[in-house]
Every structure is written in structure tokens, then in C-alpha cells.
Amino acid sequence: MFVEEDELERDKQLLELRASVLEAEEERLSGQPTMSISEAKEALKQRRDKLRQQA
């Protein structure tokens, strides 16, 4: 059976995303600090703005 290279890359990205989500869930369950979605959006916005200012 042959699989397209795009499918392999997509599957790899999905596995990496799943591993990342599982790691984050383990951290949350162990009591490590978390941030809400709105806090994460704000942090990303600030980071993006900072990068634009540096360019």
C-alpha cells in the first residue's frame, strides 16, 4: 500500500498535536499553572505586536 507524502506529513502533524495536548493535560492535572483561552489569545497578540515592532 502506498501513501501520499502529504498524508504522511498530515498524520505526523496530528500525532505531534495530540502529544502536545496530552502533555498539557498532564501538566494541568499535576497542578501546574494554566492560562485561559482569553489569556492565551492576549499573550499571542502581545507577542505578535512585539515582533512587528522589531521588524
Tens of pLDDT along 1-55?
A: 677 999 999 999 999 999 999 999 999 999 999 889 999 999 999 999 999 999 8
Please tell me the distance from the alpha carbon of residue 38 to that of residue 50, in angstroms, as a whole number. Answer: 18
pLDDT of residue 25: 94
Structural domain boundaries enclosing 24: 5-54
Please tell me the distance from the alpha carbon of residue 51 to that of residue 55, in angstroms, as a whole number. Answer: 6
pLDDT of residue 55: 80
Please say whether the beta carbons of 28 and 34 come within 8 A. Answer: yes
Within the chain, where are the H helices?
5-29, 37-54
Please say whether the beta carbons of 47 and 40 come within 8 A. Answer: no
Please tell me the distance from the alpha carbon of residue 50 to that of residue 35, in angstroms, as a whole number. Answer: 20
* Number of domain units in the chain: 1
pLDDT of residue 3: 76
